[in-house]
Amino acid sequence: MKVALIQLACTDDKARNLAHAAGMIAAAAEGGTDLVVLPEMFCCEYRNPSFIANQESAGGPAWTMLSEAAARHGVWLIGGSIPESEGGRLYNTSFVFDRSGRQAARCRKSHLFDIDVKGGQFFRESDTFTPGDEICVFDTEFGRMGLCICFDMRFPELARIMALEGAWAVFCPASFNMTTGPAHWEIMFRSRAVESQVYTLGCAPARDEAGSYVSYANSIVVHPWGNVLARAGAEECILRAEITKAEADSVREQLPLLSARRADMYTLKRRGEGAAP
């Protein structure tokens, strides 16, 4: 499976961002790419007033551009995330489109980015967004994939449940900052990969030192064994990698962590459901 992560530069102009993203998707789709990923909030600046100003419902301009791009280029497309409005609430939402442009999945960020790091970053997504309450997996011709958004990846329960439900790769549009990124970005993706024996793929915006929110960038692809297969720098780019279910299966056969869990001692459950298998 050929994947392309678009480390995109964002501005305060939504129309410009959508047009730029469409062009980058076209470039990313070249060479037989199967799945393309955009970063978190690719259509607007990462700040609460911008989320409010650029909100749209499913079927709006960003959603439509993503659907049309997936169909035009015949790729699976994880549309980063956008500020999605529904029922008077605002969500940080990632839409997934199949090769025909049909919406195949929707992931609403479950864990909102509310932090106050002494001497570093302060942010409160909950001032604007409502948290989602669904764990997102979706099926492709390559098998089942998992999807979460940025801060969600810090919670190993999500990746583990996705793995238990058949996902062999977990994608994460994200926007870590210059406080948390250098400290936690790589180790987080490597940890989730090793713990649940999945590929982990993080797609971030390019870094703009003069922007209102400075992204750490460093989009990344990690193998289920824990080694980094590909990693970007700070600049805008397309990060490419090939991932295979056979590799994930091989790691799980060599180190049977998932089957060796002691379900007689502990379990992990979805809300309102029985224990995960």
Report the CATH number that the domain containing residue 15 is assigned in CATH: 3.60.110.10
Please check whether residue 109 is in contact with residue 133, taking contact to mean a CB–CB distance below 8 angstroms.
Answer: no
Which residue among the candidates 43, 45, 107, 109 is catalytic per the annotation?
109
Residue 262 domain flag = no
> Which segment of 26-30, 106-110, 212-216 scores lowest on mean pLDDT?
212-216
Distance of CA 201 to the CA centre of its chain: 7
Please check whether residue 219 is in contact with residue 7, taking contact to mean a CB–CB distance below 8 angstroms.
Answer: yes
Split at pLDDT 50, 70, 90, the class of 117 is confident
Q: Which pTM value belongs to this model?
A: 0.95
Token representation of residue 40? 């978190």
| Residue percentage of the chain with pLDDT more than 90 | 87
Residue 275 domain flag = no
109 included as an active-site residue: yes
Which residue among the candidates 107, 150, 172, 203 is catalytic per the annotation?
150
The domain total for the chain is: 1
Q: In which element (H, E) is residue 14 found?
A: helix 14-28
Q: What is the DSSP string of 24-45?
A: HHHHHTTTT--EEE--TTTTS-
pLDDT at 274 exceeding the cut of 60 = no
Tell me what the pLDDT averaged over the chain comes to: 94
Collect all residues with Cβ–Cβ distance below 8 Å to 72 and sequence separation of at least 6: 26, 101
Residue 30 domain flag = yes
The pLDDT, as a whole number, for residue 276 is 56
Which residue among the candidates 10, 14, 40, 236 is catalytic per the annotation?
40
Phi, psi (rounded to 5 degrees) for 39:
-85, 170
136 included as an active-site residue: no
Split at pLDDT 50, 70, 90, the class of 272 is low
Q: What is the pLDDT of residues 158-189, one digit of tens each?
A: 999 999 999 999 999 999 999 999 999 999 99
Q: What domain range includes position 188?
A: 2-254
Please check whether residue 48 is in contact with residue 55, taking contact to mean a CB–CB distance below 8 angstroms.
Answer: no
